[in-house]
């Protein structure tokens, strides 16, 4: 433990179990959260006309940012070296947990690439068909992420029960509405009704308020799934070594439930033409692909440039 650098020691301290044991949560917590979700969204799912709806953290963040953007880009996701690097790096981190000897990031990433390309999902298809240049870029970015992780995260101990890229899913209304996600890294687990798990998102780049909302969403799904919430959620910024932690309590879960209900309501309304999508200008206009056809977004950018 003493061979850890200050950044690793800081992370270890932040994630450490509290000295005083946590209290057990009420037995019906997960069930009651799901019941509240279904009560609040009963009217909204009627708009689906029997069509299934899948919602993840990206879709929620998008609809809370700008509804027009959400509607205009809903079929627009494509894999690229940039969008694939997280999945490759997380797989490499996962392999590193049980790697014999000192794990080297390039070896872990090569092994991760080799395994992911054998999958049966869209990422496997992208990896199988990408150009040599894209492969080089992806490998380089994933290696950087894994190196940054090893530099600022304490070495993962098997006793912490680490798991990476863990799928989490809640089916409401008999599967008509699916809320789902994939947790970058989870450590520990509950003991009976006593929370014990830590959910961690690994990020490159700068912090944003949305990152905390993403993790709160995962805490909500985990609580409905298991009946026990995680004890802590944490965003680990690999570039700066900073970790943003939040203890999970019922207020946090209630806030996440309200945001989720609001987001699903908006999505059902705009995707099923109950009403027109609203427009919300802001920093997202800076990179929005719809901006050439969006007068409000162009005007916002022009005004911002005039101010600077």
Least Cβ distance, residue 272 to ligand SF4 (angstroms): 19
At a CB cut-off of 8 Å and minimum separation 6, what does 25 contact? Answer: 193, 194, 195, 227, 228, 229
Least Cβ distance, residue 79 to ligand SF4 (angstroms): 22
**What is the distance between the alpha carbons of residues 200 and 156, in angstroms, rounded to a whole number?**
13
DSSP calls for 66-134:
-HHHHHHTTT-----HHHHHHHHHHHHHHHHHT-SSS--HHHHHHHHHHHHTTSSSHHHHHHHH--HHH
Closest to ligand SF4 by CB, 68 vs 197, is 68
At a CB cut-off of 8 Å and minimum separation 6, what does 7 contact? Answer: 151, 152, 241
Least Cβ distance, residue 263 to ligand SF4 (angstroms): 16
Closest to ligand SF4 by CB, 258 vs 276, is 276
DSSP calls for 149-178:
HHHHSPPPPGGG--EEEEEEEEEEGGGTEE
Least Cβ distance, residue 65 to ligand SF4 (angstroms): 7
Closest to ligand SF4 by CB, 69 vs 149, is 69
Closest to ligand SF4 by CB, 59 vs 66, is 66
Interacting residue ranges for ligand SF4, rule: CB under 6 A: 66, 68-69, 279, 281, 284-285, 288, 290-291, 294, 296-297
Least Cβ distance, residue 74 to ligand SF4 (angstroms): 12
Least Cβ distance, residue 61 to ligand SF4 (angstroms): 12
Closest to ligand SF4 by CB, 108 vs 288, is 288
Q: Indicate the residue whose CB is closest to ligand SF4.
A: 297
Place of tokens 């609203």: 278
**What is the distance between the alpha carbons of residues 131 and 78, in angstroms, rounded to a whole number?**
15
Closest to ligand SF4 by CB, 7 vs 71, is 71
């Amino acid at each position: 433990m003493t061979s850890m650098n200050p950044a690793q020691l800081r992370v270890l301290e932040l994630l450490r179990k509290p000295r005083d044991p946590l209290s057990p949560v009420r037995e019906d917590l997960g069930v009651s959260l799901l019941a509240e979700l279904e009560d609040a969204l009963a009217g909204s799912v009627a708009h689906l006309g029997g069509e299934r709806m899948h919602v993840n953290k990206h879709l929620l963040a998008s609809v809370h940012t700008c509804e027009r953007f959400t509607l205009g880009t809903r079929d627009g996701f494509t894999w690229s070296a940039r969008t694939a690097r997280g999945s490759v790096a997380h797989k490499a981190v996962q392999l590193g947990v049980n790697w014999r000897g000192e794990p080297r990031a390039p070896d872990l990433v090569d092994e991760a690439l080799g395994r992911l390309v054998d999958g049966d999902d869209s990422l496997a298809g992208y990896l199988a068909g990408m150009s040599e240049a894209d492969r080089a870029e992806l490998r380089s970015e994933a290696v950087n992420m894994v190196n940054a992780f090893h530099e600022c995260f304490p070495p993962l101990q098997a006793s912490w029960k680490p798991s990476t890229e863990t799928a989490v899913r809640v089916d409401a209304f008999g599967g008509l509405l699916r809320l789902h996600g994939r947790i970058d890294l989870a450590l520990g687990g509950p003991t009976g009704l006593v929370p014990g798990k830590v959910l961690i998102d690994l990020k490159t780049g700068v912090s944003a308020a949305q990152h905390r909302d993403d993790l709160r969403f995962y805490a909500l799904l985990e609580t409905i799934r298991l009946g026990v919430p995680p004890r802590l959620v944490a965003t680990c910024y690999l570039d700066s070594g900073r970790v943003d932690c939040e203890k999970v309590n019922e207020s946090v879960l209630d806030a996440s439930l309200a945001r989720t209900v609001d987001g699903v309501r908006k999505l059902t309304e705009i995707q099923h033409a109950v009403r027109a999508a609203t427009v919300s200008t802001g920093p997202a206009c800076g990179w929005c692909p719809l901006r050439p056809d969006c007068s409000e977004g162009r005007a916002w950018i022009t005004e911002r440039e005039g101010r600077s």
